[in-house]
Amino acid sequence: MNVAGIGAYVPRNYLTAESYREAWGKVGAAGVERIAIPDADEDTLTMAAEAGRRALDATNTDASTVSSLAFATTTPPTEAEEVVVRLASLLGVPDEATMRQFGGGTRVGVGALATASKQDDDADGPALVVVSDSPQGAPESDEAAGAGAGAVAVLLSDDGPLEIEAVGEYGDPYPGTNFRRRGSADTESIGITTYERQSYTAAVGGAVESLDADVSTVDAVALTAPNGKLPYRAAGTLGVAPAQIMAGTVVSQTGDTGAASPLLGLASALSDGAESTLVVGYGSGAGATALLLSADGDVPVSAVFEGDTELSYAESLRRRGAITGEEPEGGGAYVSIPTWRQTIPQRHRLVAGECRACGTLSFPPEGACFDCGSTDGYDDVTLPGTGTVEATTVIGQGGAPPEFVEQQQRSGAFGVTIVAFDGPERDDDRTVSVPAQVVNSPAGVPEMGDEVEAVPRRIYEQEGVIRYGFKVVPTDGKR
């Protein structure tokens, strides 16, 4: 299968290298100017959903036609759970689609793409590969100085314009390069620079050599980039120029995005018009997977590579949850997991009900129709996620329900609105009113009459289970 299109997403919050240097009095990550910081209600699953939607929109693909979904990350929201199933629900991928989750070293994103590309040509529909990562380190460490976040989604189809011409693999043990201990969220290393460079160049070079192809003339080289200098160390080994590596590298503006970094580089290169690209996913330890790609036409890309909201160093620690308090005991609105599950179609995909008697929309679709009083039931319809604000307020410090206190501590006051969501059809003048929390954005809290759009986010965590659903962002604040 070939690449039909790509979607990419980087959180809008960022921390500059200068702010890190001022806080710690040391240089920080080499070649990194700023790092992307997920907001309090973002994680690798919500970023994956954002990237996946972009890939589907860029290629005009209905999620219901996707036959297989792969999700790759080294930093899943939970250590042991089929997160890919939740991603499928958020995107609207069919329950019967093949779903696979990849984890471990940072080459898993490229590895997942290589695996999906070998899918049989007679598959029932396109394949979607989504890679999302958000590494972190101890606050004073070099790993933390460069830890960014981002997600990429690659849609594959039989007739996509970007062909994967060759796949190369290589593995040779180099223990002690970037690793994460069991039960820890922080990446660390033994800190022997020469050893780490040798691990990187040996694995990357070995994978490219196994392609048995001339890569010296490609337009761009997209490599896993733990920092802004390491990819260039491989230039001589690969026989390519620094300019080719620069064309496929975005780490200076995103920070280390782990498994997503080489595919973010691919998306950036394609956006700039590259026709041939070498992509190499490197996993410390050490192994690498290399892909040689060439295009015979324009490749649709919908991507955002930079944030637009600068944070102070203290704010970045709050967003990551490093300096927040605990949720107050009692007083929260308890919703059991079985009850929450019953409303997943509404929370994940805005599935409303259309009254079988009069056609009035209801959200959620339950009880008697409030317009005609009929109890004939409802037919499911999916709302497009756009709407107009009917009422709005702001929940300030101390005003949030207990389950939302952590979010408020991390990201501050938040808006809550009543939104008149648009009907399911383009020319539909029906609306249905729904309460929704507002995502923090430079556009601020929307006012009555403002247009908004639904986006996937974390709602809160209860009993150790993360609840996901939709929030809204002002249309002029949507990137």
pLDDT band at 399 (very low <50, low <70, confident <90, very high): confident
pLDDT at 123 over 80: no
Task: Give the per-residue pLDDT at 331.
Answer: 52
pLDDT at 330 over 60: no
Average pLDDT over residues 449-463: 93
Question: What six digits make up the tokens of 94?
Answer: 């069919």
Question: What six digits make up the tokens of 402?
Answer: 């207990």
Task: Give the per-residue pLDDT at 19.
Answer: 94
Average pLDDT over residues 140-155: 93
pTM: 0.94
Task: Give the per-residue pLDDT at 334.
Answer: 79
pLDDT band at 185 (very low <50, low <70, confident <90, very high): confident
**What residue ranges define each of the domains in the chain, with the CATH number in brackets?**
2-319 (3.40.47.10), 337-351+385-477 (no CATH)
pLDDT at 358 over 90: yes
Average pLDDT over residues 60-83: 95
Handedness of CA 242, 248, 254, 260 (dihedral sign): negative
Average pLDDT over residues 259-267: 98
Question: What six digits make up the tokens of 226?
Answer: 């733990």
Average pLDDT over residues 366-377: 93
pLDDT by residue (tens digit) across 273-305? 999 999 999 999 899 999 999 999 899 999 999
pLDDT by residue (tens digit) across 73-119? 999 999 889 999 999 999 999 999 999 999 989 999 999 999 999 87
pLDDT at 321 over 80: yes
Task: Give the per-residue pLDDT at 332.
Answer: 62
Task: Give the per-residue pLDDT at 427.
Answer: 79
Task: Give the per-residue pLDDT at 121.
Answer: 59
pLDDT by residue (tens digit) across 21-39? 999 988 888 999 999 999 9
pLDDT band at 202 (very low <50, low <70, confident <90, very high): very high
Q: Secondary structure of the chain in the HEC alphabet?
A: CEEEEEEEECCCEEEEHHHHHHHHCCCCCCCCCEEEECCCCCCHHHHHHHHHHHHHHHCCCCHHHCCEEEEECCCCCCCCCCHHHHHHHHHCCCCCCEEEEECCCCCHHHHHHHHHHCCCCCCCCCEEEEEEECCCCCCCCHHHHHECCEEEEEEEECCCCEEEEEEEEEECCCCCCCEECCCCCCEECCCCHHHHHHHHHHHHHHHHHCCCCCCCCCCEEEECCCCCCHHHHCHHHHCCCHHHHHCCCCHHHHCECHHHHHHHHHHHHHHCCCCEEEEEEEECCCEEEEEEEEECCCCCEEECCCCCEECCHHHHHHHCCCCCCCCCCCCCCCCCHHHHHHCHHHHHHCEEEEECCCCCEECCCCCCCCCCCCCCCEEEEECCCEEEEEEEEEECCCCCCHHHHHHHHHHCCEEEEEEEEECCCCCCCCEEEEEEEECCCCCCCCCCCCEEEEEEEEEEEECCEEEEEEEEEEHHHCC
- For the chain, the average pLDDT equals 92
pLDDT band at 329 (very low <50, low <70, confident <90, very high): low
Task: Give the per-residue pLDDT at 241.
Answer: 97
Share of the chain above pLDDT 70, in %: 97
Task: Give the per-residue pLDDT at 322.
Answer: 81
Paired strand residues for 379: 354
pLDDT band at 249 (very low <50, low <70, confident <90, very high): very high
pLDDT band at 120 (very low <50, low <70, confident <90, very high): low
Task: Give the per-residue pLDDT at 31.
Answer: 92
Share of the chain above pLDDT 90, in %: 77
Task: Give the per-residue pLDDT at 184.
Answer: 85
